[in-house]
Amino acid sequence: MLSPTEAKRILEAALLASPEPVPLADLRRLFDGQIGADTLKRLLGELREEWAERAVELVNLAGGWRFQTRREFLPFLERLNPEKPPRYSRAVMETLAIIAYRQPVTRGDIEEIRGVSVSAGILQTLEARGWIDVVGHRDTPGRPALYGTTTRFLDDLGLRSLEELPPLEEVARTLELEATAARPAANEPIEARPASAAE
């Protein structure tokens, strides 16, 4: 039988080696049934405490457990890898918000809420990112696909469940602020287009 210290070192090695969050069931397989779920949770809690004062933390997400860099160190790490994260259009972000807060929804539901048509490219972008997936089909003529968010969506946002999403009003306020920041101020000059562009 393994000592708690040995078991924690095995967990630490497995979690540090994994590029994705590891579900509790997979972590239990490491010990071939020698350690129960409650003991495993306790050991993970102890391991989290042991890493509490370090630059890396152990977190429990929707997809399982993983080590990740603490937020306060991200600005320094971005200097090593100055690659900018992808920026998504307002339409993509609105569509994602509708799916996250109203799921499961069809493309028609999204169009009705947004008041404009949703291009297939928007849904494909979100599917390619792994943030949404078809979770079923509505039992109506045409059997439209029902979309919902994935565990990867929750993992990428550092959440364990949809209940941890910020209130919808806060998201709407953020989108309004971004739209306001994108518009030129009333006293800013508007650049004239070159004559060739106007033709």
Q: Is residue 166 part of a domain?
A: yes
Q: What is the pLDDT of residues 127-166, one digit of tens each?
A: 999 999 999 999 999 999 999 999 999 998 888 899 989 8
Residues 45 and 114 in one domain: no
pTM (2 d.p.): 0.66
**φ, ψ for residue 147, nearest 5 deg:** -105, 145
Q: Is 83 within a domain?
A: no
CATH number, domain of 50, equals 1.10.10.10
Structure tokens at 68: 């990740």
pLDDT at 123: 94
- Determine, yes or no, domain membership for 14: yes
Q: What is the pLDDT of residues 63-122, one digit of tens each?
A: 999 999 998 998 898 888 877 777 888 899 899 999 999 999 999 999 999 999 999 999
Domain termination residue (choose one: 16, 42, 73): 73
Tell me the residue range of the domain where 118 lies.
Answer: 90-182
In a domain, 32, yes or no: yes
96 & 28 share domain: no
- Residue 118 domain flag: yes
Question: Is the pLDDT confidence value at 178 over 90?
Answer: no
11 and 60 both lie in a single domain? yes
Same domain? 118 vs 145: yes
Residues 94 and 167 in one domain: yes
Q: Residues 68, 105: one domain? A: no
- Selection from 38, 37, 34 nearest residue 3 by Cα: 34
Mind listing the pLDDT tens digit for each residue in 22-63?
999 999 999 988 888 899 999 999 999 999 999 999 999 999
Closest CA to 7 of 33, 37, 30, 24: 30
**Same-domain status, 99 and 172:** yes
